[in-house]
Amino acid sequence: MILKSNCRLAIAVLSLMGAQYLAPLQISRVASFFQNGMTPLSATRLSPIIHASSVSIGQNPVTPLQQKNSQLIRTLVGHTAPVRAVAISQDGLTLASGGDDGTVKLWNFQTGQLLSSLSGHSKGVKSIAIAPDGQTVVSGDRDGIVKLWDLKKGQLLRTLNGHKGGVTAIVITPDGRIVTGSLDIVKVWDMANGKQLRTVQSGAFALTVSRDGETLFAGHNDGKITLWNLSTGKLLRSLVPPQKSSGVTSVAIAPDGKTLVNSGGDDSFQSLPQTDGKNIKVWDVETGKLLQNFSAHLGTVESVAIAPNGLVFASGGQAKRVQLWSLKTGKLLRAFEGHGGGVYAVAFSPNGQILVSGSGDKTIKVWRLLPSPSPRVPLQPSNSVGIAF
């Protein structure tokens, strides 16, 4: 079969491979492979919305795990030291970042423009959060200081003191309570007046909160996850790994509140180098059952985040790349490479289509997870899974 049009050839190839609906841009990418003549082609079966990155041409295979230029939207440069924390406002308009340079930076999330650089921390910023109403940014530093900033004006509103150790985690509930965590203690504050409401007598390195703001999930240095009633300060239960584990570095709760993911280490892998923080664990919150426990990165896994749809989660670590996983199966779906240093923070946009990562290379990268909406070209289905010329 000889087709003189590259696009017609690409459509024929993809049709035989089972791809029924593809955007014109996706087809043109495949067609470009043939612009210099036909090349032996091998491929796996394409899903209906798969990218051309699943096709391998000749001796230079392109796999879904390889970075494509179209995946990286932009790189934000402004910090002068490693970026430790990132957060995106619920309206998707503002990105906040904190770094070892002691600054909080606010960015236009749509354009990448730096809006303001907030100075006031004497030590590096380790944690950051944006209030649900998008009016306030809260940041915590290595000195145990928490600062509240007016997001629109870029002005300091107040400073909260009370932690003896570095503030490694901050979450904000829908009703305006701020929860701050350090290795010595967890504190709950009223965002409106800065008043301390209560303390949880258990230090934590990582925190997250249920969607209704009533349950706090805290990750600890001994590998345990503890669940607390945030209104009463009562301990509800603990999620305990089957083997003695090293500290939890990050926790994330699915939107339905049923599944929790944490990054951390496991002594069962002590024969391997750099085991601390290496594993990812997935828990059933209702039963306390450990659903998955696997080695995700080479080196420490620093951060995890679950997408708004609850289907996938992202992880970042010392391996200098971001990885995307199926929450249900634990299958690695994609890896994003390009950072020159460890990835310390990851966050999804509110619509789940964009992923942001902060790195030790002093940059923030913005990645696209889904193609832009466009008309799809129907292709005739076929039972064939591959062809060769």
pLDDT tens readout for residues 149-186: 999 999 999 999 999 999 999 999 999 999 999 999 99
Position with higher pLDDT, 346 vs 279: 346
- Judge whether residue 252 has pLDDT over 80: yes
At 265, the pLDDT band (50, 70, 90 cuts) reads low
User: pLDDT at residue 32 above 80?
Assistant: no
- What percent of the chain is predicted at pLDDT more than 70? 73
Is residue 180 in some structural domain? Answer: no
Give domain status of residue 349, yes or no.
Answer: yes
130 φ, ψ to 5°? -115, 130
Least confident piece of the model among 118-127, 309-318, 365-374: 365-374
Confidence band (pLDDT; 50, 70, 90) for 269? very low
DSSP result, 141-157: ETTS-EEEEETTTTEEE
Average pLDDT value for residue range 300-315: 96
Say if 231 falls within a structural domain.
yes
Lowest mean pLDDT among 19-28, 172-181, 349-358: 19-28
**Run of H or E including 355:** strand 354-359
Mean per-residue pLDDT over the chain, rounded: 80
CATH, residue 325: 2.130.10.10
pLDDT surpasses 80 at 387: no
* Confidence (pLDDT) at 296: 79
Q: How far apart are CA 207 and CA 217, in angstroms?
A: 6
User: Is residue 122 domain-resident?
Assistant: no
Number of domains in the chain: 2
Q: Model confidence over 193-212: pLDDT tens digits? A: 999 999 987 789 999 999 99
- Give the pLDDT band of residue 371 (cuts 50, 70, 90): low
Please give the residue range of the domain that contains residue 44.
6-64+373-378
CA–CA separation, 149 and 157 (whole Å) = 5
Share of the chain above pLDDT 90, in %: 66
**pLDDT at position 277, please?**
43
- Amino acid at the residue 63: T
Q: Looking at the domain assignment, is residue 323 inside a domain?
A: yes
